[in-house]
C-alpha cells in the first residue's frame, strides 16, 4: 500500500509528500475526509480508494537543503500523538544526515543527488525520466509537458507510472501527438 500511495502522489504531482518536499513543512492529515480537496482534487479520492484514511508527511531537510520527505499512513482516520511526531522528526533528522553524507564526493566524484520520489541508493524512477525524455523528443514538447502527459496517461488508465514508462521505453506504447496540425495536412501544397 505504501508503494501505491507513493506512486499515486508522484503520478499526480500532488499530496502531502509533495507539499512536505516542496515547502519543507510538516503535512499531517489525520482524516483525509477533511483534507483540503481544492489542494489535492485527485489525491484524496485516490488515496481513500486505496484504503488510506490518514497521511503524515515529514520533510527531509537541513536548513535550506531539501532532499525529500518521509511519509506514513494509516487505514483509520486518526492523528498522530505528539510523542510520535517528535520521534518521526528525530528519524527525519538522522535520515537527512545519512542521505546528505551519501551524496558527498566519493573518490573525487560527487554522488548523484536524489530526485524527488526516488528511493535512495536506487534508480526506482529512472525509467520515468528516460520515458519523459523520449516523449519530449517524440512529441516535440518541453520536458515538463512530457512528464505531465506521462502522468496524465498513467492516471487516466489507472496504471503505475513506472509501468507505463517501461512500456514507452520498450516502444510497446506510444502516446499520440495531439499538437494541432498545419492546415492542408502533411506535405502542404
- Residues 9/50, Cβ–Cβ less than 8 Å: no
Check residue 107 and give its pLDDT: 52
Check residue 104 and give its pLDDT: 67
Q: Does domain 126-169 have CATH number 1.10.10?
A: yes
Q: Where are the domains of the chain?
A: 2-102, 126-169
Backbone phi and psi for residue 149, each to the nearest 5 degrees, phi listed first: -65, -40
CATH fold label, 2-102: Beta-Lactamase (3.30.450)
Q: In what order do the strands lie in the sheet with 65-74?
A: 27-29, 54-62, 65-74
40/62 Cα distance (integer angstroms): 27
* Cell (9 digits) for 58: 515529514
Check residue 48 and give its pLDDT: 94
Which pTM value belongs to this model? 0.70
- All residue ranges of the chain with pLDDT < 50 are 108, 110-122, 188-189
Residues pairing with 29 in the sheet: 55
- Residues 65/40, Cβ–Cβ less than 8 Å: no
Check residue 121 and give its pLDDT: 40
- Residues 135/168, Cβ–Cβ less than 8 Å: yes
Check residue 124 and give its pLDDT: 62
Check residue 73 and give its pLDDT: 96
Amino acid at each position: 500500500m505504501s508503494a501505491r500511495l507513493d506512486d499515486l502522489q508522484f503520478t499526480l504531482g500532488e499530496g502531502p509528500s509533495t507539499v512536505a518536499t516542496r515547502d519543507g513543512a510538516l503535512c499531517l492529515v489525520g482524516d483525509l475526509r477533511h483534507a483540503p480537496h481544492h489542494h489535492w482534487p485527485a489525491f484524496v479520492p485516490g488515496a481513500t480508494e486505496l484504503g488510506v484514511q490518514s497521511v503524515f508527511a515529514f520533510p527531509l531537510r537541513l536548513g535550506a537543503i531539501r532532499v525529500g520527505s518521509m511519509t506514513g499512513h494509516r487505514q483509520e482516520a486518526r492523528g498522530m500523538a505528539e510523542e510520535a511526531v517528535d520521534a518521526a522528526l528525530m528519524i527525519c533528522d538522522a535520515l537527512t544526515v545519512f542521505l546528505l553524507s551519501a551524496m558527498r564526493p566519493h573518490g573525487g566524484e560527487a554522488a548523484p543527488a536524489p530526485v524527488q520520489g526516488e528511493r535512495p541508493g536506487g534508480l526506482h524512477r529512472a525509467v520515468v525520466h528516460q520515458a519523459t525524455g523520449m516523449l519530449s523528443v517524440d512529441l516535440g514538447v518541453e520536458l515538463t509537458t512530457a512528464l505531465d502527459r506521462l502522468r496524465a496517461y498513467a492516471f487516466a488508465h489507472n496504471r503505475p507510472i513506472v509501468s507505463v514508462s517501461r512500456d514507452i521505453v520498450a516502444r510497446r506504447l506510444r502516446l499520440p501527438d495531439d499538437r494541432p496540425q498545419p492546415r492542408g495536412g502533411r506535405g502542404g501544397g
